C-alpha cells in the first residue's frame, strides 16, 4: 500500500513539473525544451514571432501533411506545427490542435486569426484535452463543473458520469475522422501507465488508410526508475522517453502497419548516465485489419537480403513470386 501511494505521489510531482514548466515556457523561451530543427521557411512567414519563439519540438512531422488532409496535432502547444500544417493541407484541409496547457492554448488561439488572415483561409481549431483521452473535451467538462462544483462523494460520482457521457455524446475527436496524426516531442511527457491507451487513441481517431508521423525522443536503453521519478528530467523530455524498440512494439500491438523510422538523429539530444536520448520520427498506417487477400496480384522481392518479413508476417524470399 505504501508503494502505491509513493508511486501516486511521484506521478503527481512529475505531472505538476510538466504543467509548470510548459506554462512558464509559454511566457519565456526555455532552450532546454527543444532540439534544433529546420523547418521550411516559406511556412514560417505567416506565423507570429511569439509562437516561433515559444516552440518546443524535436522534429518536423508536418513534412508528412498532404493537401486536403484532416490533421490532428497532439500536444499542439503554441500552434507552430498546426499553422504549418494548415498551409500544407490548404483550404480544403482541416487542422485540429489538442493540448492541456491553458497558457499554450491561449497563445495558439490568439495567433490563429492572424495566421488565417495571412494565408487566406481559416482551417485550424484548438481544443483542450489530454492526448491519452481524446474523447473527453476538458473545456466542456469545466463548463459543467462551473455549475456543479464537487463537494461530496456523490458529486464526484456525478462528475465521473458526466465525463463518460461527454466522451460518448460529444467526443473531442471522433472515431475514424482524421487522415494524419502528428506530434512533436510530446508522447514522452505522458506517464507510462497511460501509454497503451495513448497509442490506442491514435489508432481510434484515424480513418482507414490514415497515417501517423510522430517526432519524439527515444532512449537506447531502458530508463531506470530513479531517473523516471526525476520531475526535472521528465519535464525536459528525457526520463519519460520510450525505449527505441518499445515505441515500435506498441504501435504494432495497436494494429498499425508499415511502421518505419523516417528520421533518426545520429547525434543524441542528451546523454544521462551513458543512456543516449535522441530524436526520431516514426511513421505508420492504419487499414490492414481483417483477412489478407491476394487480390490477383503478385510481387517479387529483388533483394539484397535473402528474405524479409512484413507487418503481416509474410516472408518474402528473394526472387520468388
Q: What is the DSSP string of 285-302?
A: E----S----TT------
Contact 122, 92 (CB under 8 A): no
Task: Give φ, ψ of 194 to 5 degrees.
Answer: -100, 0
Query: What band does 233 get if pLDDT is binned at 50, 70 and 90?
Result: confident
CB-based contact 198:190 (threshold 8 Å): yes
Find the range with the poorest average confidence among 63-67, 113-117, 137-141, 285-289: 285-289
Instruction: Return the pLDDT at 25.
Output: 46
Q: How confident is the model at residue 5 (pLDDT cuts 50, 70, 90)?
A: very low
* 99 Cβ neighbours under 8 A, 6+ residues apart: 75, 76, 77, 105, 108, 126, 128, 129
- Global pTM? 0.87
Which pLDDT score is estimated for 306? 93
Mean pLDDT of the chain: 88
pLDDT at 192: 86
Which residues have a Cβ under 8 Å from the Cβ of 22 and sit 6 or more positions away? Answer: 33, 56, 77, 101, 103, 104, 235
* Cβ contacts of 5-9, under 8 Å, gap ≥ 24: none
pLDDT value at residue 29 = 53
pLDDT at 222 over 60: yes
User: What does the pLDDT average to over 256-270?
Assistant: 93
Q: What percent of the chain has pLDDT over 90?
A: 70
CB 213 within 8 A of CB 283: yes
Contact 78, 102 (CB under 8 A): no
Q: Which of 216, 215, 219 is nearest to 188 (CA)?
A: 216
Mean pLDDT is lowest, of 15-19, 94-98, 225-229, 275-279, for: 15-19
DSSP string, 33-77: G-------HHHHTTS-HHHHHT---SS-GGGG--TT-EEEEET-T
Band (pLDDT 50/70/90 cuts) for residue 16 is low
Report pLDDT digits (tens) over 45-101: 999 999 998 887 889 999 999 999 999 999 999 999 999 999 999 999 999 999 999
Predicted pLDDT at 298: 76
Q: What is the pLDDT of residue 55?
A: 83
What pLDDT shows up at residue 314? 82
- Does residue 6 surpass a pLDDT of 60? no
Q: Which helix (H) or strand (E) holds 113?
A: helix 102-119
Amino acid at each position: 500500500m505504501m508503494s502505491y501511494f509513493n508511486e501516486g505521489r511521484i506521478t503527481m510531482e512529475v505531472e505538476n513539473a510538466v504543467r509548470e514548466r510548459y506554462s512558464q515556457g509559454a511566457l519565456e523561451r526555455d532552450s532546454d525544451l527543444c532540439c534544433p530543427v529546420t523547418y521550411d521557411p516559406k511556412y514560417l512567414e505567416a506565423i507570429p514571432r511569439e509562437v516561433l519563439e515559444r516552440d518546443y519540438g524535436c522534429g518536423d512531422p508536418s513534412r508528412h501533411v498532404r493537401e486536403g488532409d484532416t490533421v490532428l496535432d497532439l500536444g499542439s502547444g503554441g500552434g507552430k506545427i498546426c499553422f504549418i500544417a494548415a498551409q500544407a493541407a490548404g483550404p480544403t484541409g482541416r487542422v485540429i490542435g489538442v493540448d492541456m496547457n491553458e497558457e499554450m492554448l491561449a497563445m495558439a488561439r490568439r495567433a490563429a486569426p492572424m495566421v488565417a488572415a495571412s494565408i487566406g483561409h481559416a482551417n485550424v481549431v484548438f481544443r483542450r484535452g489530454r492526448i491519452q483521452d481524446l474523447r473527453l473535451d476538458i473545456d466542456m467538462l469545466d463548463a459543467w463543473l462551473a455549475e456543479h462544483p464537487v463537494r461530496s462523494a456523490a458529486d464526484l460520482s456525478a462528475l465521473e458520469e458526466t465525463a463518460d457521457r461527454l466522451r460518448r455524446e460529444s467526443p473531442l475527436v471522433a472515431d475514424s475522422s482524421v487522415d494524419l496524426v502528428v506530434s512533436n516531442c510530446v508522447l514522452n511527457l505522458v506517464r507510462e501507465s497511460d501509454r497503451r491507451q495513448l497509442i490506442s487513441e491514435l489508432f481510434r481517431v484515424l480513418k482507414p488508410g490514415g497515417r501517423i508521423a510522430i517526432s519524439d525522443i527515444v532512449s537506447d536503453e531502458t530508463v531506470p526508475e530513479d531517473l523516471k521519478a526525476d520531475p526535472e528530467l521528465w519535464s525536459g523530455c528525457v526520463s519519460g522517453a520510450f525505449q527505441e524498440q518499445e515505441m515500435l512494439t506498441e504501435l504494432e500491438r495497436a494494429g498499425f502497419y508499415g511502421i518505419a523510422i523516417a528520421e533518426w538523429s545520429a547525434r543524441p539530444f542528451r546523454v544521462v548516465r551513458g543512456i543516449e536520448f535522441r530524436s526520431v520520427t516514426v511513421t505508420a498506417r492504419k487499414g490492414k485489419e481483417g483477412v489478407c487477400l491476394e487480390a490477383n496480384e503478385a510481387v517479387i522481392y529483388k533483394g539484397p537480403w535473402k528474405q524479409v518479413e512484413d507487418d503481416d508476417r509474410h516472408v518474402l524470399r528473394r526472387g520468388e513470386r
